Structure 1
Amino acid sequence: MNLHQFRFVQEAVRRNLNLTEAAKALHTSQPGVSKAIIELEEELGVEIFARHGKRLKRVTEPGQHVLRSIELILREVGNLKRIGEQYSAQDSGTLSIATTHTQARYVLPVPVAKLREAYPKVNISLHQGSPAQVARMLIEEVAEIGIATESLVDYPDLVTLPCYEWQHVLVVPSGHPLARKERVTLEDIAAEPLVTYHPSFTGRTRIDHAFAARKLTPRIVLEAIDSDVIKTYVRLGLGIGIVAEMAVRDESAAADLVVRPLGPLVGQNVARVAFKRGAYLRQFVIRFAELLSDRLDRNLIAKALAGHGSDYDL
């Protein structure tokens, strides 16, 4: 048996048992993938996949155990490569970050700049997506570190740590009637056309729960993943907007928008930093995590990765 066979099996599962897609992802031929998997099954003496003709239909029960072992083996192979990179080039390499648009646009610029100052030979690769896509990129080792608000805690393959708290805010045009109210209610917001985030981004779940708890149905006229897009449509008069507070830090001096905090109405959100469980982290990855929050340090991260506790309070 060899690592190629392990990678073929793993990629076949990732591609929903489509060997043609698995072969494309691995830059090889479909017959080669099929032959390698069959040879591994023959060597192990078990069927990893149940088949209908030549097509893979499902993972067998022994196949599930084989897959778990393959995951462990390939993860440790990846760790070996990173250890080699770490000690052959202590201060260079590529830091791959998976994150959402809001984090990339409003939170990460300062930590990224500080990391580049400390490690000028380190290149930064930003991968943006939904929180679910951030989790998937970490699990598939496209990225080494992930930052998002929603759903990262739902993945057992990830170790997550709370990074910082933030709240949503209401943004309204300066001439809007709500701009004259110091305390806006959810009832006030529900009576207006609303522009806010897509359901899978930037704490939208918390917004929905807050309205549902008051038995209110907001009139959402536009959903977006980009805070700047939301502010643009509010300025155009499409409606009032709800965005993350970090998206309006530069709006305090703007004369055309008024900002009202919604923390007491909607609640606080927690941005989390995540790593793949069992991963070996290079020194500049740990340093970048420390730059994200003064609550994070290498000892805390090491304890979390070692499995000492599943969560830590802010």
Structure 2
Amino acid sequence: MRLQQLRYVLEIARQGNHLSAAAEALHTSQPGVSRQVQMLESELGFPIFQRTRNRIIGLTEPGEQVLEIAKRVVGDLGTLRILKDDVSAISRGTLVIATTHTQAKYVLPPVVSSFLKNFPDVQIVLKQGDPEGICSLVDAGEADIAIGTETAREFPNLVGLPCFELTRSVVAKVGHPILSAEHLTLEEVAQYPIITYDPRFAGETLHRRRWKVLGAFEQAGLEPRIVLSAIDADVCKTYVLMGLGIAIFASVSFDEKADVGLGIRDARHLFESSMTYLKLRSNAYLRPYTLEFIRRLAPHLTPDIVREALQNRGRGPTVQG
């Protein structure tokens, strides 16, 4: 007994017992279909179809049961094929992630490492840019997901899911007085030359058209002296080590082991934090391995929550953008 024979039985029934039509639909010959059905009947020991002068006119009583069994078997095979495709999609493919320098260097490495240990056949492609640029890549279909902070520009075709907050710190060369200040205040920070991110690249998004860091000083009536801005924290650190000023950037960008010669002070009480968002096209089909990567990045973003957000874009407190 072969699966092909059950398919032939199904197709003959679908075609109203017309053997020639069934053969055409199956892209085979009429004698071939007839022969396979006869072989199945011989194996079963009873006729499946009623015949008159070698023409099929209907199903026999046991043939009705064969048809129902054939439907289940062929249907289950289709389900198995879908499962096979999904399992294949989990274990093999390409995931294009658009993200900022801070996320790519300081947030994503442990996530990517953990993910690739379980999915070694998935190739990850990182495309870096500023928060608006990475959203544009996803919007244009050039990336699957974007991971970055808030944007001033709206992207109506994207759904944003909040992942986690990035707090800010003050970083200075070891021995700098700011590191030993009893209570870190904006007034104290404003006394020194400041090195920080270029707001376009930092996710220091314009809030009410103000850069968040600069806005904190302005609200306090202070005018800081920003001597240098760069597109990533590593460049800022280089100039801090040269003694040109103190830096203000995302706390996650500081590595105690690697950043020898530098010290850090938590400044979350002085500067508003930035929310890191995951951005997806609202009509995106997400492969299982993409959903798994998202879950590893932000455990609260389970596959069900992500799917629901895509289905109900624009509604509910968890959907932004």
Tell whether the structures are fold-level matches, with TM greater than 0.5: yes
Deviations 1:206-258 (A, max 9, x none): 2122112112222111111111111111010111101211111x226866222
Kept in 2, the 8 Å contact 1:166–1:244? The answer is: yes
Aligned to 1:75: none
Mapping of residues 29-44 of structure 1, within 5 Å: none
Aligned to 1:258: 263
Aligned to 1:229: 235
**d(CA) in 2 for partners of 1:223, 1:86:** 48
One-letter code aligned to 2:297: L
Q: CA deviation at 1:283?
A: 0.8
**d(CA) in 1 for partners of 2:101, 2:145:** 15
Higher alpha-carbon Rg: 2
One-letter code aligned to 1:104: A
Note if 1:206 corresponds to 2:212.
yes
Aligned to 1:77: none
One-letter code aligned to 2:224: P
Note if 1:279 corresponds to 2:275.
no
Aligned to 2:67: none
Deviations 1:88-134 (A, max 9, x none): 94221110000000000001111111221121111010000000101
Greater Cα offset, 150-159 or 276-285: 150-159
Deviations 1:135-192 (A, max 9, x none): 1000001110110012188322110111011211000112212122032211222221
Kept in 1, the 8 Å contact 2:172–2:246? The answer is: yes
Closer, same or farther in 2 for the Cα pair 1:276/1:147, shift >3 Å?
Answer: same
Computed over aligned residues only, the root mean square deviation of the Cα atoms, in angstroms, reads 2.3
**d(CA) in 2 for partners of 1:168, 1:256:** 19
Kept in 2, the 8 Å contact 1:161–1:311? The answer is: no
Q: TM-score, normalised by structure 2?
A: 0.67
**d(CA) in 2 for partners of 1:125, 1:247:** 21
Kept in 2, the 8 Å contact 1:162–1:273? The answer is: yes
One-letter code aligned to 1:144: D
Closer, same or farther in 2 for the Cα pair 1:312/1:88, shift >3 Å?
Answer: closer
Kept in 2, the 8 Å contact 1:150–1:201? The answer is: no
Aligned to 1:45: none
One-letter code aligned to 1:154: E
Kept in 2, the 8 Å contact 1:86–1:282? The answer is: no
Q: TM-score, normalised by structure 1?
A: 0.68
Aligned to 1:26: none
- 1:293 pairs with one of 266, 291, 298: 298
Runs of 4+ aligned residues of structure 1 deviating over 4 Å after TM superposition are 85-88, 252-255
**d(CA) in 1 for partners of 2:275, 2:182:** 25
Aligned to 1:305: 310
Residue ranges of structure 2 left out of the alignment (5+ in a row):
1-81, 205-210
**d(CA) in 2 for partners of 1:253, 1:98:** 25
**d(CA) in 2 for partners of 1:170, 1:88:** 46
Deviations 1:16-60 (A, max 9, x none): xxxxxxxxxxxxxxxxxxxxxxxxxxxxxxxxxxxxxxxxxxxxx
**d(CA) in 2 for partners of 1:212, 1:268:** 16
Aligned to 1:157: 157
Kept in 1, the 8 Å contact 2:151–2:203? The answer is: no
**d(CA) in 2 for partners of 1:152, 1:124:** 28
Kept in 2, the 8 Å contact 1:150–1:202? The answer is: no
Note if 1:112 corresponds to 2:117.
no
Kept in 2, the 8 Å contact 1:145–1:273? The answer is: yes
Aligned to 1:97: 97
Residue ranges of structure 1 left out of the alignment (5+ in a row):
1-82
One-letter code aligned to 1:158: L
Mapping of residues 81-96 of structure 1, within 5 Å: 87=86, 89-90=88-89, 91-96=91-96
Count matched residues. Answer: 230
One-letter code aligned to 1:265: L
What secondary structure, in the 3-state scheme, does the structure 1 residue paired with 2:96 have? strand
Kept in 1, the 8 Å contact 2:202–2:232? The answer is: no
One-letter code aligned to 2:243: G
